[in-house]
Chain A
Amino acid sequence: MHGLFAALTLEDFIARTISSLTKIPADSDTLLLIAFLAAAFTHAGLLLGLFGGLPVFYIWLERKVAGRIQDRLGPTRVGGSFGWLQTIADGIKLIQKEDLVPKEADALVFRMAPYLATIASFAAFMVLPISDGWIAVAAECGAFLILALMSLEVLGIILAGYSSGSKWALFGAMREAAQMVSYEIPMAICALIPLMIAGSLNFQVIGRMQSGGFWNWFILHDPFTFLAFFCYFTTATASVKRAPFDLAEAESELVAGFHTEYSGFRWSIFFLAEYSSMFAVSAVAAILFLGGWHDGLGIDSVIDSLFRGTGTGIIEGFSLGSYVANLFGAVVLITKACLLVFVQIWVRWTLPRLRIDQVMTTCLKYLVPISCFLFLAAVLWPLTLVTMFSRPVIAGPALGERALSQQTTTSIDASERLGAAR
């Protein structure tokens, strides 16, 4: 929509720039390799910045919110006011600690498990769009892929608990395994509801369908998607093992659960993975239900009309207008995700932890039937509307018409731009 989708990729851009500067033919293998590597490292670096930077903020936020809820101040000193450097100080302290491996542990698996959890959590960021067209891997089946990647994190946690050679850790891992195997089912079914409405697994398409006002967001599409959002958010909270579902850690019962035996760097990257996953599931919730990178109040269309076409053509394949619009979209999406993360933190410090049997009951007896019912009802809703009012939505244009009109305008834009480039 903002043109970046139809414009150059970073790889093309680097290849063309280098070839125009150095007179090397643009299709030489070395140049393409350099361009590929430069583009890959840029993308990975940007994602790694997000992956590492957000947890730093969230851990500080967690301390502040916990402090406020418990009627104390939280960190106040480090870095001047508000204790905003607290997480960095914690990180430096953690890196200095000794890297212990218990005598009873299975050393290979014990050492590898934190990396497995962190890699799985980071890999989910690859297919997560930050704004329209700002996505590292624009996979057609992005939503399916992100669910698959997020389900891998549990494996690192189970292996960590099992290989620790400690009963606390083993109990934590066992609870985590039981919990995750169950909660993946309602989570996937709830995520399926907006995917079914959009008729696509592509995050870009899903995000674009919710452009315009906030009444276009999938959460307000019909009453069942409204309920499905809360169902998804509950299961997502459980899937990143946050309270009241943090049975795997359960400080008051299991010392620290699956990471009892870990220290220093390996311990801290478990937390990096946990807080990044909190962002990932919240961003997925924001894209699937809450309009993604569209603010819903019309500010993005104002920005688009103000800046459209500015700065185009100074550098080939780069338009300042679309960059500003995309940047605004990224800010909107990250704000939405951060608000959802704040709700997760708020819930953690407000609700007591469930027992393991209550956790399983909540999932198998309530969430699975509820999500199945919501899915069925969301399928039947447009059919019922068509039978009664002979139109699939109550007000406004149908989703398919909206998507189609947008697609044709986008393709006209794209073909115009391609024509202009030649």
Chain B
Amino acid sequence: MIEQLLFYTFAILTCGGAVAVVATQNVVRMAFWLVVSLGSVAALFFLLHADFLGAAQLLIYVGGTVVLLVFGVMLTASGPYTTIKTAPAEGIIGAAVGLMLLMVLVSSIGSVDWGAISGRLPSSPQSPFTADSIREAHADEAIVNSGSTKVKTDLAAIQQQGRTVRQLGLSFLGLRPDRNLKEGGANGLAPGYFLPFEIVSVHLLVVLIGAAYLARAKRRAVSEDRVSLD
């Protein structure tokens, strides 16, 4: 009940913030509404017990991207408050693209058979009395290899409480404990995300070096007899 209330609050804030980003013309106000919208998305992640994802959302989007956006506006703005005026044609094209994306999303969500999937999800939110069993599972968390049913309840409990950091870390190293332990290695080992993770890392490194190269101060060769005041 309280979770429903919180969900609707943050869902409204997310959508309202997003609409306000589009509707305002002042860039810094847009950044403010972006903070509201992205922060509410992080709150939705926390409600779904995806703690790590929520923290990453806060760190990368709210703390990183929006700060850089405002910083960029401050460095480049010519007037006191930069505004973006959209022509009516741009508005129509933007609305059309947005609506088409919305229709694609709605149709793909509608085509999923949710009844079949809900059976695979961990059990519904805990009451204080199911929490006992979860806590007991935690106490035995160190002993993972003690029978497959035990492992299943452990994993469900861990995922339900948002304790997914270790699993995330392992899957970035190429191990998928959630899959491999559940299926008992019957279908071979499930691949992790080691290669994509490395590719993304190298890609980011290349971008970083490229940006440093582009932004580097270009020093002209100063002839010997002229004193450079720089």
A interface residues, Cβ below 8 angstroms from B: 6, 8-9, 11-12, 15-16, 26-27, 29, 32-33, 35-37, 104, 106, 108-109, 112, 116, 139-141, 144-145, 147-149, 151-152, 154-155, 158-159, 162-163, 165, 170, 173-174, 177-178, 180-181, 184, 201-202, 404, 407-408, 410-411, 414-415, 418
Contacts and interface: CB of A to CB of B under 8 A. Distances in A.
A154 B67 contact: yes
Contact of A15 (B68, B70, B80, B128): B128
A140 B166 CA distance: 9
A32 B127 contact: yes
B26 A6 contact: no
A33 B1 contact: yes
A411 B127 contact: no
Contacts of A15: 128
Interface in B115-167: 127-129, 131-132, 135-136, 139-140, 142, 161-166
A35 B131 CA distance: 14
A201 B165 contact: yes
Contacts of A104: 80
A148 B58 contact: yes
A180 B35 contact: no
Contacts of B165: 140-141, 144, 201-202
Contacts of A201: 165
B193 interface: no
B139 A411 contact: yes
B55 A112 contact: no
Contact of A163 (B28, B55, B63): B28
Contact of A155 (B62, B73, B80, B131): B62
The 8 closest A-B pairs by CB, nearest first: A151-B63, A148-B59, A12-B128, A411-B139, A140-B163, A148-B58, A145-B55, A414-B139
B205 interface: no
Nearest to B39: A152
Contact of B128 (A16, A411, A414): A16
A158 B71 contact: yes
Contacts of A27: 127, 129
A375 B165 CA distance: 21
B74 A35 contact: no
Nearest to A412: B139
7 contacts: A11-B128, A106-B28, A140-B166, A148-B56, A155-B35, A170-B74, A181-B68
A52 to B, nearest CB: 23
Contacts of A37: 2
Contacts of A145: 51, 54-55, 58
Nearest to B131: A12
Contacts of A112: 32
